Structure 1
Amino acid sequence: MELFLIDAIGPFFRDYDKGRINWSKIPFTHLQTSGPEADTQWEKIRSDLRHFAREVTTLGYNAVTLDDLAHLAHHPLHEATVTADIKFYREQFRQIFDILSEEFDLKVFLTSDIMPMTPAVENALGDKPAEMERYYLELVTQVLDDFPQLSGLILRIGESDGNDVKDTIRTHLHLRNPRETNHLLQKLLPHFDSRGKKLILRTWTVGAHNIGDLIWHRGTLAETLNKLDSPNFIVSMKHGESDFFRHIPLNKAFFRVKQAKIIELQGRREYEGAGEYPSFIGRDCENFARELQEAENVVGMSMWCQTGGWHRFRRLAFLEGNKNPDIWIRFNVATAIYIFKYGLSVEKSIEEVVGLERAPATLELLRYADTLINELLYIEDFARQKLFFRRVRIPPLLNVYWDCLFINHAVSKVLRHFVPDPEHVLRSGEAAATYFPNMIQLAKEADLPVADIEHMRDFFSILLLARRYYFLPYDEVLADRIKSAKKKYKARYPEGTRERYRIKVSFEPFRIRRRTLAWASTLLLRKQRGYRIFDHLFTLNLLGYAFKLFKPRNPKDMPKFLRKSAMGVDVLFK
């Protein structure tokens, strides 16, 4: 392995006070572009980036990712205000690129969604594929030529800006099938070859259009990558067939794709507390590294230490003067590169981070936390099931999503349907919850943040109550305990003093019979990667039309979580 990437967007989130933050990209609307406030903000960003670069290069990372092409490439079709902002951003990022590449010898990669647009560009180009392709090629070649510090671009073709993004520059899903994607890559690659730059394609998608199964479908992947034989082309894949979750095996595509490839890992676990408590990936990294020894042409790894998710957790990694410690993120970021680059064990990696004396207690604490994550945050009997809906693999974490815990009758019914042995699930959760007294003591011994373990204990105690509600007969006493626990949790962790989970509680009956649920899951979900005849006839085609026909006419009639999180539920039916 020779390429060790890490995202460097943390400094751009300083003093970003929005209640629930979109961590998928630099919040450009938060950045000042004029006046003394802009000078102060950008000077702080440069200072933070120097500190960040010093820390990650010491660990062994040799490349960083930054956002994004759309905000650094000007075009004659752009609005005057957009042109002015881009001019300012180009001046600022040129300094940033110089700092990272010249002072720290870091390769710099710029991200790009396909396709970045503004209202003026959309009006001018309409829905003309050839014109849009020409427009995008102009943006790419301009940035590569104007910023020689760049080592290349990282393309994301299967996800675009979330519904919450208010920037004039917004990205939209453009490529709809493997043929279109391959065609664009064939057009792009000669420009990278002639300049000696790298083109990295992420296979991550959210399931939209015929390209939506790129992350796991071997046929879609093969057609997309057909005849892309350039030495400057790299395929970037998340470690599983879904997002950054546990209980999903290593993606088999690593053993089928012949092109150079890198594995994506996440140190700031967006579905597992985002650094608020220990969610250690060291053991998974050891397993992935061992399995990848059998794969050819794996040239590196990409670590997301800040990027990912829509949540209120706001710990920033590797920045000086953090209000809250980033140690749990550091454990993941450091251990991953120690394993993949230097071949160290988890035990030796933790020794390198905390020292020989603190290592035993730290390792024992992380082992306990690992068990709690796997057996209480996740419901293991559900998480290990391989289920697909349309073009996506169903996430193994159903009742907790980003910063939300859902305790309601609908979740209960779904989990009861899929979990064959509720008693085992209850016992494993109860057993795991007994670890917290030892964990608090170990945190004290290892000089690690005790308050974080206490927060983990308090939230996981509600998870345990939720599990009882999911799998036991309804009990008013239990319902009252859940309401009381939620109230105490909110009182102990009030907004503005500490980031915390949102606990969504409703005991209203979910009006669907078990027989109907079983029938619907059999028809709509499948346990195999390949599509059934029914999927080709209905799930992949007619269901999309049915969703458009029957979804509420007033968007506010749809739950806020479904319509405002990320790209919204609509994208699943495209």
Structure 2
Amino acid sequence: MRFRGPLLLFLLALAGGVALASIFEVHAESKPLLEAGDPPAVPESAGAPRASPTPLPLRLVDAGAVGIPADTLAWGTSYSHATHAFDRLMLRSAPWVEPREMARTASDWDRYVERVTGWGANGIIVDAFLEFLTFENAEGVSTVYPADAPLLHRHRALRESFAPLFDRAAEAGAGIYLKTDMLALTPELDEYLRATTGGLDPADPALWRAYAAGFDELFRAMPSVRGVVIRIGEAGPLFNVADIEYRSEMALHRPEHVRLMLETFLPVFERHERRLVFRSWSVGVGGLGDLHNRPDAYLASLEGVHSPALVVSTKYTQGDYFGFLPLNPTLFVGEQQRIVEFQARREFEGFGAFANDLAPLHGTALRQLRERTPHLVGISLWTQEGGPLRAGPMSLYPLSGYWRWIDANVHATLQLALNPEASPDSLHARWVRETLSDDPAVVEGMTELLRLSRRAVDRGWYLRDFAKHRVSVADFEVPPLLWIQEWDQIGAWWAIDTSVADVVGDDWRSTVAEGHEAVALVRRMRAIAESLEPALTDDAEYARMLRSLDHQENLFQVLAFHRETLFGYQRWLRTGDDTGWRDSATRFERAAATHHAEWGNDLDFPSFEFGPALRALDRERQGAATPAIARVTLAGLLVLLLATAVRGVTPILASSWIAALIAGPAITLALFLPRGAWGPVLGLFVVAFATGAVAVLTRDRSSDGTPVSLLLSPQLLPLAWVLGPVAIRGTGYFWVLFWTSTPYRIALFTLLLGGPTWAALAHIRGRLLDGGRWRARGLAASALTAGAALAAAALVLPSLDDSLRAADGLLGVMPMTRAILNGITVYAGVPDALRWLPAAIAGLLLGTGGLVLARARQRAPADPAPS
């Protein structure tokens, strides 16, 4: 190749390297925060807080735990987001509704309605919709359910059974709002829509007209239903249940889909004087992924959509229910009526298993929103729902388990909707008097305990110096709670830990100190509760309150040791100073073992999963020899390069180059894996080395006589670039440079692109071209070889989910949790069919190679006839 060719190749590889490196750039900047600012405290002598002259008129709550079974055997084993509400009362044959289960549900319903209406709710959201539709009298809709369809008879029975419950709630002052995702489907409805509308196309008005007819039927058949809550931004596998006929599908992807749906539905709601509550929540991917967080995305979908029946419901934070987030900016735009969503049982903060006073945050948010959101008409409070219900404590509000801390938040948030100027202290004092005791010492002590609880959560649960920054990767903002995944997974993942340590920087000492400050705060809370024992000895829940605080103290202690380990290890990787971090790791391991032994079988206060973090420590210990192996490998490559430069390419050196081309990737991969996973890699190396030896014994020269093995050698450059940091302080140092050093990352991707490209060109030059003409047999052999290799790989490739889980388990790069996997495969539209992409390419290569080989044989000159 002339000089111009390599230069062009280098520039193209560099451009690609810069582009790829930018994808992994971690950006951090300060962000505005919703700081909890309390109004002046109301003196105890003032009694109950003053009523606001303008309470928010709409105060919705979910249905709590009504209908959700306390299935203790299944608890803690499922990450499904399905609540399974009312599943047990639905039968597959007559009488269609299980009488005893319905009676239990009715009793729980009355208990719940009395509690939440007493706290200030005037609307209840019930997780049901299709269960009440028959489409028998739906205008413009032909038969959905045949006369003998079980679902037809079940829906009639359910409608008849639930109508009295809804009527009693209405008499108590709470209207009923049904809740559904769009699209909501049963097998029969799916079949009907596909047959009559040509599919499930959200751009087809006929699809939405069918649902609109269903709403019309619903409002005529069930007058107590005052509206429907619709969500479009999250649905599918996380919520569907295999043996249940009702499922959801995430089908809307563009703003015009939203507008068409709403414009079709709203006339029905207006005609019946009902509310359509449209939830703007979205999961952050796809064409509507920013609907929840970005004002421009909100306006693109909803600007110009006006109706007295339309209410848009939006979470109060710019993101999910985490701490250290600003108010949601979409609440300040648009002309639609708005309600703001809160969560009393925060999924990302222990599911209510420990004390966590949210009144200061919710009060501050409501005061600011009432000033800045002119069309604010109410709140929607999740008392039970949100996240993977059965992955957390079995707190079923207010029916089963320990739900005392949840109740404090439900009471305070509903009261704040009536009077946002009320102080948290006055609200908690009233709650204590009504639920625990009117003893002044108890009122004062419990009020102080709740006041301390949010400070403890802020410091023990979050890494505040990280959480106070807006951190994004590839234009995707990561949550402020990054070191705890899926509510209870405590891990050590390279992508997370290196990024967290880099953002925190020199403030790591204060971050570590705050973990221990949180433990001290919880001990103080525990002492307060213990001091109240004489006045609370008759309270049946008092013992569980103390156990909750014991659980919180123990958990926060383990987390404090874990953050010591995290920052100590990251400091060692960066500076070589290993002072103390191994001692912290030992304390963490012992504390984690004690935590699991104490709380592992507790349904009210379950143990957290520290397995990923413990496996990371094992990986570090097993990799103690990793730097030495990397140094030997680098030295071997250097010796080979010098020997070639001095002696030229002899057959022995050609064999060595092929061995290096095979051994280099194998050794590099092995260094990133735990010791137990080295066997397959080394086995692959032995097989590949034997193949390379055969190549040397046959022919290893290009058409101009240059050894092909030498032409392929540039692909060893990226391996050397990876092995360099590993040779200093192990694989962790490589990940530190990867996530924190832009120049290192650019060079890595440039070499990764340039090396294989050079090797491919060398292969073409050496094996496939002869004087500018293609060697048909060489081309066929290369295609067949590559096709066979890909076909073999395709045969052993697991599903996309399993492949990503394996990468997490072996490398620990980032947590491939169930939510992340679902986001990749469902919400981001990356199908599992990608598994078959290697097989498809293999088929193409094998077919091409076979065809070329067959044509080459046909064109080959016939052997001369014997003389």
**For this structure pair, what is the TM-score category when the shorter chain's length is used for normalisation?**
0.7 to 0.9
Counterpart position of 1:225:
302
Counterpart position of 1:490:
596
1:519-554: per-residue Cα shift (whole Å, max 9, x none)?
A: 68999xxxxxxxxxxxxxxxxxxxxxxxxx9x9645
Q: 2:75 aligns with which of 6, 11, 19?
A: 19
Tell me how far 1:345 sits from its aligned partner.
1.1
Counterpart position of 2:464:
380
1:250-299: per-residue Cα shift (whole Å, max 9, x none)?
A: 11222223221111011111111112111110110221122123221211
The answer for unaligned runs of 5 or more in structure 2 is 1-55, 136-142, 537-541, 570-577, 621-671, 673-730, 746-793, 807-814, 830-867
Q: 1:97 aligns with which of 154, 157, 166?
A: 166
Given that 2:90 and 2:154 are in contact with CA atoms closer than 8 Å, whether structure 1 keeps it comes out as no
Counterpart position of 1:514:
736
1:179-204: per-residue Cα shift (whole Å, max 9, x none)?
A: 11011111111111111001111111
1:180/1:32 CA distance change after superposition, 3 Å: closer
Counterpart position of 2:587:
481
Q: 2:414 aligns with which of 328, 334, 337?
A: 337
1:135 corresponds to 2:210 = yes
In 1, the alpha carbon distance for the partners of 2:191 and 2:743 equals 42
In 2, the alpha carbon distance for the partners of 1:349 and 1:158 equals 34
Given that 2:275 and 2:310 are in contact with CA atoms closer than 8 Å, whether structure 1 keeps it comes out as yes
1:558 corresponds to 2:804 = yes
Tell me how far 1:25 sits from its aligned partner.
4.2
1:142/1:402 CA distance change after superposition, 3 Å: same
Counterpart position of 2:844:
none
Counterpart position of 1:450:
546
1:36/1:73 CA distance change after superposition, 3 Å: closer
1:315 corresponds to 2:569 = no
Tell me how far 1:557 sits from its aligned partner.
2.7
Given that 1:154 and 1:199 are in contact with CA atoms closer than 8 Å, whether structure 2 keeps it comes out as yes
Counterpart position of 1:502:
609
Q: What RMSD, in angstroms, separates the aligned Cα atoms of the two structures?
A: 2.8
In 2, the alpha carbon distance for the partners of 1:123 and 1:516 equals 50
Q: Once the two structures are aligned, what percentage of the paired residues are identical?
A: 22
Given that 2:466 and 2:480 are in contact with CA atoms closer than 8 Å, whether structure 1 keeps it comes out as yes
1:188-232: per-residue Cα shift (whole Å, max 9, x none)?
A: 111111110011111111123211100111111112112222122
In 1, the alpha carbon distance for the partners of 2:472 and 2:216 equals 39
In 1, the alpha carbon distance for the partners of 2:154 and 2:295 equals 42
1:409/1:191 CA distance change after superposition, 3 Å: closer
Tell me how far 1:572 sits from its aligned partner.
5.0
1:111 corresponds to 2:189 = no
In 1, the alpha carbon distance for the partners of 2:744 and 2:303 equals 34
Instruction: Give the TM-score, by structure 2 length.
Output: 0.59
1:353 corresponds to 2:431 = yes
In 1, the alpha carbon distance for the partners of 2:380 and 2:201 equals 34
Q: 1:154 aligns with which of 223, 226, 229?
A: 229
Given that 2:97 and 2:154 are in contact with CA atoms closer than 8 Å, whether structure 1 keeps it comes out as no
1:306/1:497 CA distance change after superposition, 3 Å: closer
Q: 1:407 aligns with which of 491, 495, 498?
A: 491
1:194/1:334 CA distance change after superposition, 3 Å: same
In 2, the alpha carbon distance for the partners of 1:215 and 1:196 equals 27
Counterpart position of 2:65:
10
1:465-500: per-residue Cα shift (whole Å, max 9, x none)?
A: 111121002744433333322222122123255441
In 2, the alpha carbon distance for the partners of 1:521 and 1:382 equals 24
SS in 2 for 1:285: helix
In 2, the alpha carbon distance for the partners of 1:14 and 1:521 equals 55
Tell me how far 1:403 sits from its aligned partner.
3.6
Q: 1:428 aligns with which of 500, 503, 514?
A: 514
Given that 2:69 and 2:84 are in contact with CA atoms closer than 8 Å, whether structure 1 keeps it comes out as no
Given that 2:122 and 2:174 are in contact with CA atoms closer than 8 Å, whether structure 1 keeps it comes out as yes
Counterpart position of 1:535:
none
Name the amino acid aligned to 1:8: A
In 2, the alpha carbon distance for the partners of 1:37 and 1:194 equals 32
1:368 corresponds to 2:452 = yes
Tell me how far 1:3 sits from its aligned partner.
0.5
In 1, the alpha carbon distance for the partners of 2:186 and 2:277 equals 24
Which one has the bigger helix percentage?
Answer: 2
Within-5 A mapping of 1:251-262:
251-262=328-339
Instruction: Give the TM-score, by structure 1 length.
Output: 0.88
1:464 corresponds to 2:710 = no
Tell me how far 1:135 sits from its aligned partner.
2.8
Name the amino acid aligned to 2:259: N
1:28/1:566 CA distance change after superposition, 3 Å: farther
1:394 corresponds to 2:481 = no
Within-5 A mapping of 1:518-533:
518=740
